Amino acid sequence: MFALFRTRQTLARFVPKLGSLLKALRLMAAARRQRRALLRLDDALLRDIGQDHLSARAEASRPIWDVPQHWRL
């Protein structure tokens, strides 16, 4: 009985942390995917969004954990 109780307590503490970790990994993957897509845009498309190759390259070189503040909930 005691072992079962301890297992449930451990799971209760672990599951929310696992959810937070998975959310963070999804955000990092999205950031990486979007930054790589930004590098594939040509000059005309970059101009349409008010960017140039230098700024696109700078954005793409940011670490994957460096996401906008409004992404972090």
Q: pLDDT by residue for the chain (73 residues), tens digit each?
A: 455 556 667 666 767 777 888 888 888 898 999 999 999 999 999 999 999 999 999 999 998 888 777 776 5
pLDDT at 56: 94
59 is a domain residue: yes
48 is a domain residue: yes
Tell me if the pTM is above 0.95.
no
- The total of other beta-carbon atoms located within 10 Å of residue 56's CB is 19
How many domains does the chain divide into?
1
Calculate the alpha carbon distances from 45 to 23, 33, 41 in Å. Answer: 30, 17, 6
Instruction: Show the domain range for 35.
Output: 22-65
16 is a domain residue: no
pLDDT at 70: 79
43 is a domain residue: yes
Token pair for 17: 């942390």
Distance between CA atoms of residues 51 and 60, nearest Å: 12
